[in-house]
Amino acid sequence: MAENATTGPTERDPVKLAPDFYKVALENDRVRVLDIRMKPGDKSPEHSHPAYVMYAVSDAKVKFTDPDGTSEEFEVEAGQTVWRDAETHAVENVGTNEAHILNIELRG
């Protein structure tokens, strides 16, 4: 299995799995910044992130579903910043507007 220093197995890289939603805005040896845009009803397949900081560009309401099937709805307001530990999940935009999020994934 090929490995990616940022996210682990490349098969779990959200940029590779859902390029319509995830774009790399910046990448270097310290961070990778993902620009994420999902319209209402959009679903991203299961993928992984290392520890990251999430910055909400817009209000967003999403549902995270873990590999074991448990899920939680998560709401953020534009301008809010949230710390997230490394995780694997699928994501669905369950809100009424486009979710625009920046994820700053930490390396090392």
- The residue extents of the domains of the chain are 3-106
Q: What is the 3-state secondary structure (H, E, C) of 52-66?
A: EEEEECCCEEEEEEC
CA 8 – CA 63 distance, rounded (Å): 23
Give the alpha-carbon dihedral of 48, 87, 84, 58, to 10 degrees. Answer: 50
Banded pLDDT at 4 (limits 50, 70, 90): very low
Percentage, residues of the chain above pLDDT 70: 90
What's the pTM value of the predicted model, to 2 decimals? Answer: 0.87
Domain 3-106 has CATH 2.40.30.10: no
9 or 75: which leads in pLDDT: 75
Please, which pLDDT band fits residue 6 given cuts at 50, 70 and 90?
A: very low
Q: What is the pLDDT of residue 108?
A: 78
